Amino acid sequence: MHKAIGLAEAVEMIPDGASLMIGGFMGVGSPHRLIGELLRQGRKDLTVIGNDAARPGVGIGRLVDAKVVKRMVASHIGTNPEIGRQMIAGETIVELCPQGTLAERIRAGGYGLGGVLTTTGIGTVVAEGKRQIEIEGKMFLLELPLTADFALIAAHRADHIGNLEYALTSRNFNPIMAMAAATVIAEAAEIVPVGVIPPDDVVTPAVLVDHLVEREKLNGR
């Protein structure tokens, strides 16, 4: 049941070339300490699945700045000109996916589903090369599940065994990513004793969290 490990130790588990789901939306709800440590340890050739490339210097944008993202699956990259430059230069491969479809593909990966059927993308470039299935007279697009080697997620509060609670819009992709990766590493703004987070408020149960990053030192303590 002991989940807590040091930040450096957590990131040492992640090899070059790993596929990572990284929570957050424009950097809100991203695991900023884990991202910083990936950079400090010089990890490279990463596949990143996340909603967006944020901005240069922010969240996933910091990995883009350092040119360590080999492939990215995202719904939006327009706020980060650097990933656009890398994509045009052929340094990075970007797969764009409608945001709701991205969420459902991750959910399908974590929920043991073979895919999702959605009307989003029918009749657009998103449908190119994908199977379309008619159900009761309506056409749906078959979108396939996503999984990853690691999910790097951020929570508002964790307890000592790794139950997670989120705050406001920082929840976003974090809970579904916690279901869809082989190894889940969580960092939390606050860590509290077991029992402090009421059962009804636990969004991600501890059993899904493999490693909980120890807190930062505050005022030397």
Partner 1 sequence: MDAKELIARRIALELKDGDLVNLGIGLPAMVTHYLPPGVDVFFQLENGLIGLAALPHPGLENYFLGDAGGALVGAVPGACAFDSAFSFGLIRGGHVDLTVLGGLEVDERGLLANWVVPGKMVPGMGGAMDLVTGCKRVIVAMIHTAKGKPKILKQCTLPLTSARRISLIVTELAVIEPTDEGLAVRELAPGVTVEQVIAATDAKLIIPSEIPEMKLAA
The residue ranges that bind partner 1 (CB under 8 A) are 25-29, 51-52, 54-55, 58, 74-79, 81, 84, 87-88, 96, 98-104, 106-107, 118-126, 156, 166-176, 203
For partner 1, give the closer residue by CB, 15 or 169: 169
For residue 2, the minimal CB distance to partner 1 (Å) is 28
Cβ neighbours of residue 29 closer than 8 Å, sequence gap 6 or more: 23, 154, 166, 169, 170, 171, 172, 173, 174
CB of 156 to partner 1, least distance (A): 6
Least Cβ distance, residue 150 to partner 1 (angstroms) = 19
Sequence-distant (6+) residues with CB within 8 A of 221 are none
Please, which residue, 78 or 90, has the CB nearer to partner 1? Answer: 78
* Alpha helices, H only, 68-151: 81-88, 99-111
**Residue placing its CB nearer to partner 1 in the complex, 7 or 116:** 116
Q: Minimal distance in Å, beta carbon 29 to partner 1?
A: 7
Question: Which residue number, 8 or 113, has a Cβ lying nearer to partner 1?
Answer: 113
**Hey, how many other C-beta atoms are within 10 angstroms of the C-beta on 47?**
18
* Sign of the dihedral defined by the CA atoms of residues 144, 59, 20, 203, in that order: negative
- Could you tell me the maximum CA-CA distance found in the chain, to the nearest angstrom? 65
Q: Considering beta carbons, is residue 14 or 27 the nearer one to partner 1?
A: 27
CB 13 within 8 A of CB 66: no
Rg of the chain in Å (alpha carbons): 18
Least Å from the CB of residue 12 to partner 1: 28
